[in-house]
Chain A
Amino acid sequence: MSELRTSAIETRGVPGKKRYAMVIDLRRCIGCDACMVACKAEYDVPLGVFRTWVPYKVVGTYPNVKKQFLPRLCNHCDDPPCVRACPVEATFKVEDGGFVLQRYERCIGCKACMASCPYNARFMLPRHRTYTEITNVVDKCTFCHHRVTQGLAPACVQTCIGRARVFGDINDPRSEVSYLIANFPTQVLRPEEGTKPNVFYIGADRNLTEHGRAIYNPPEVTEQDRKAFGGVSI
Chain B
Amino acid sequence: MGDYTIYHHIPWGGAYAIYFFTIGIAAALFFFSALSWARAEFEPLRGRAAYASFALLALSGLVLIGDLSQPLRFLNVLNPFYLNFSSPLAWGALNLVSFALVSLAYFWAMRKKRDALARQLSIAGALLALGLPVYTGFDLTVHQNRPVWNTPLMPVLFVALSLVSGAAVATFLAAGQERTLRALRPVMLWSAGAVAVMLVSLMGTTWYGGIGQELTFMILTTGSMSLAFMWLGVILGTGVPIALLLAPVGQKTSGLLVSGVLLLVGGMALRYSILVGGQIVQTYF
Interface residues of A (CB under 8 A from B): 50, 53, 55-58, 81, 84-90, 106-112, 114-120, 123-124, 136-138, 190, 192-194, 210-219, 221-222, 225-226, 229-234
Contacts and interface: CB of A to CB of B under 8 A. Distances in A.
A162 B11 CA distance: 34
A85 B281 contact: no
A194 B145 CA distance: 10
B279 A88 contact: no
Contact of A215 (B1, B10, B67, B82): B1
Nearest to B1: A212
A213 to B, nearest CB: 7
B276 interface: yes
B141 to A, nearest CB: 11
A44 B279 CA distance: 28
Contacts of A193: 144-145
A88 B76 contact: yes
Contacts of A55: 3-6
Contacts, number: 161
16 contacts: A50-B6, A55-B3, A55-B5, A57-B1, A81-B145, A88-B82, A89-B84, A109-B73, A112-B139, A115-B143, A116-B142, A116-B145, A123-B9, A136-B70, A215-B281, A232-B276
B221 to A, nearest CB: 11
B215 A211 contact: yes
Those 5 A-B pairs whose CB atoms lie nearest each other, nearest first: A109-B69, A212-B1, A118-B145, A87-B89, A114-B11
Contacts of A86: 84, 87
Interface string B215-226: 100110001100
A234 B280 contact: yes
Nearest to B279: A115
A218 B10 contact: no
B7 interface: yes
B254 interface: no
B281 A211 contact: yes
Contacts of B283: 120, 226, 231-232
Contacts of B284: 211-212, 215, 218
A50 B5 CA distance: 12
Given A213-B215, A232-B276, A85 B5 contact: no
A33 B224 CA distance: 33
A230 B13 CA distance: 12
Given A112-B89, A120-B282, A213-B215, A53 B76 contact: no
B211 interface: yes
